[in-house]
Amino acid sequence: MDACQQVLLKAVVQGAVLGSVNMCSIFGFQGEEVGLARLFLDAMRHRGPDGENVVVHQPWILGQQRLSIIDVSDAAAQPMQKGGNTIVFNGEIYNYKELKKQYLKDVALCSTSDTEVLLELLNRQGLSIVNKLNGMFAFAWYNTKEGELILCRDRFGKKPLYWMQQSGRLYFASEIRPLATLKKDIEFDRNVIRAFVDDTATDFDERTHIKGVWQIRPGHLIIVSKDKPIKHRKWYFGSDHALDESRYSSWESVIESFEELLVDSIALRHRADVPVCITLSGGLDSTLIYILAKERLNSHIKPFTFIHPGSGTDESAKVFSLMQEYDDVACCVQSDHSIGAGRIEEALGFLEFPIWNPSAIAYLDTYKAIGQSGFKVVLEGHGSDEQLGGYPYMIEAACRRALISGNMVSTLRLYSVLEQTKNAALEQKREGGLHRLLNPLDFILTTLNNLERSKRGMQAELEEAFNYKILPIVLRAFDRLSMSQSLESRSPFLDYRVVEYLRALPIEYKVGPVGSKAVIREVLKKYGKDYLYKTHVKMGFASDLPRLFEDQGVRSKFADYINCFNFEGFGEIKAKALANIQKPSIGWRDIDAIWKVGSLEITRRMYQGNRV
């Protein structure tokens, strides 16, 4: 077979070959039913609207749909075959140019794509090369010599990859939807439902909400061979980047080394043959990415921001001030709450399982606006909060640990930061004269009454947030919602070098004199952004959710969902949701139960009868 030849099944896939993809959907299955590929193609076309191809590489049928971002020539089309092996790839290898220069200097390649670099490296060096990749990816690589199919997922699970076995065959795909359609019976996993209800946690291990449909865990791979048990292997152990401990010796060295790492991460994530934009919430994370892109990279990155005027969670004023500084104009997006119920069902259809609250509407509307503006790549601030203690409860953990350790100086400093971070608009704090006295007394009593929990400290909360409680569900949400609009979301804070650096960062650089996420505030301070780094209240990129439930149509819909909810063993939260939906005025604290019960009922209806 020619080095770059592709076998295209045009009887299955109609239309021209449209060049390379990076972000896309991938799928495959054992067997000879080529026509089955149509089910996968139809279910995931939103992930790759620029082209679709299928190859037969016995005993596998492998397919891919493309979103063209790097190298839009036909030479980079997938599935790609070289050296007798085949790959289907979803994601980006940001450092593919450096890898090519280091390992493939004298190798003649047929394209300028990262996919070909990856395939060539896998063919030459095997799976050991995976630890050298800087990117977000999920791929299937068929090694003909070994007769093995490798399904591999990136370090932190930015890109999804699911699989299942049925009637002696293995199927895999970038989304659950086509696999659920193939399943003979849909049964929900009660343990997954329980983790969502109790902890708002999903996607943290190999299980999905559908029994028998599994995900490849972040930093893991599986090896599928004929007539052999499936092998599961962990390939990432958290130490792919060599750390220089002298970088933590002083505030100056910490600020400098962190900024340099983040700037390089942002630069790598600018690599594209299409324009790049950014979502700006007004918070620290996306704002820092924007400022460094402007100050250090002279980038023309286009900002998009979600606004909800008149709400206590609206941060557009800070975004507009930033735009004036850089003589820029942000594209503003605003949701229409009058059609909220339909939008929620639409968003859940893309998400495949609920997330933390109905703010999915805001994200989806923003991505729609970006897609309609012609962009395919967006930079975002995900991953910083889970590493630097961006949520009030994380700072609270540090404060409680200091209190029981008897360090009153640290306790007072951390408590001050904690109170500054809480958002009254989200009903996170009680304000007023008497509460100024009661709040610290209550804090002391609850700390002493729960010593075991208080001993955990901030680092334990960060690890739990990164691996279990927050980041996994966040990554699913923003992959599904961005890809629903054929849009690639890139996260500079999740460059593995940045993650490993921040993981080793002492607590005092995470919560310092300037407040929470101290190292970020110090970099903003360096660039003279006082109005940003001195703002301490945690907002988040969200919609005005209480206002959503002022709409009687939304209330009525959710009342119906809650009444019909019949998941066994969850009567307590159903009763709470029923009580909350009947309140004359629904506040932030009321929404959790309403949303969890209602969204689970929508999910049940979505999968009922295998119709997904």
pLDDT < 70 regions, the chain: 1-23, 71-76, 337-340, 423-438, 536-543, 609-612
Instruction: Output the pLDDT for position 539.
Output: 61
Q: What is the pLDDT of residues 318-377, one digit of tens each?
A: 999 999 999 999 999 988 766 668 889 999 999 999 999 999 998 999 999 999 999 999
Neighbours of 16 (CB within 10 A): 7
Q: Examine the domain organization and report whether 522 and 448 are in the same domain.
A: no
Instruction: Output the pLDDT for position 433.
Output: 40
Q: Examine the domain organization and report whether 169 and 46 are in the same domain.
A: yes
Tell me, yes or no, whether 31 lies in a domain: yes
Closest C-alpha among 317, 251, 250 to residue 287? 317
Instruction: Output the pLDDT for position 485.
Output: 95
Q: Is the dihedral of CA 378, 382, 388, 393 positive or negative?
A: positive
Instruction: Output the pLDDT for position 536.
Output: 65
Tell me, yes or no, whether 18 lies in a domain: no
Mean pLDDT of the chain: 89
Which residues contact residue 414 at a Cβ distance below 8 angstroms, ignoring those fewer than 6 apart? 395, 398, 399, 402, 511
Q: What is the pLDDT of residues 406-419, one digit of tens each?
A: 999 988 888 888 88
Tell me, yes or no, whether 144 lies in a domain: yes
Q: Examine the domain organization and report whether 431 and 552 are in the same domain.
A: no
Q: Examine the domain organization and report whether 370 and 481 are in the same domain.
A: yes
Q: Examine the domain organization and report whether 485 and 559 are in the same domain.
A: no
CA distance 226 to 170: 11
User: What is the domain extent for residue 42?
Assistant: 23-176+213-234
Instruction: Output the pLDDT for position 72.
Output: 58
Tell me, yes or no, whether 4 lies in a domain: no
Closest C-alpha among 554, 545, 557, 551 to residue 590? 545
Last residue of a domain, one of 430, 460, 490: 460
Instruction: Output the pLDDT for position 423.
Output: 67
Instruction: Output the pLDDT for position 594.
Output: 98
Q: Examine the domain organization and report whether 274 and 363 are in the same domain.
A: yes
Q: Examine the domain organization and report whether 277 and 354 are in the same domain.
A: yes
Tell me, yes or no, whether 9 lies in a domain: no
Q: Examine the domain organization and report whether 156 and 221 are in the same domain.
A: yes
Instruction: Output the pLDDT for position 79.
Output: 94
Give the phi and the psi of residue 429 in degrees, each rounded to 5: -145, 155
Q: How many domains does the chain have?
A: 4
Tell me, yes or no, whether 478 lies in a domain: yes
Tell me, yes or no, whether 202 lies in a domain: no
CATH number, position 491: 3.40.50.620
Specify the pairing of strand 169-173 against strand 148-153.
unpaired
Q: Examine the domain organization and report whether 347 and 485 are in the same domain.
A: yes
CATH number, position 104: 3.60.20.10
Tell me, yes or no, whether 290 lies in a domain: yes
Instruction: Output the pLDDT for position 541.
Output: 59
CA distance 50 to 24: 9
pTM, to two decimals: 0.92
Q: Examine the domain organization and report whether 397 and 383 are in the same domain.
A: no
Q: Examine the domain organization and report whether 279 and 295 are in the same domain.
A: yes
Last residue of a domain, one of 460, 480, 502: 460
Q: Examine the domain organization and report whether 161 and 88 are in the same domain.
A: yes
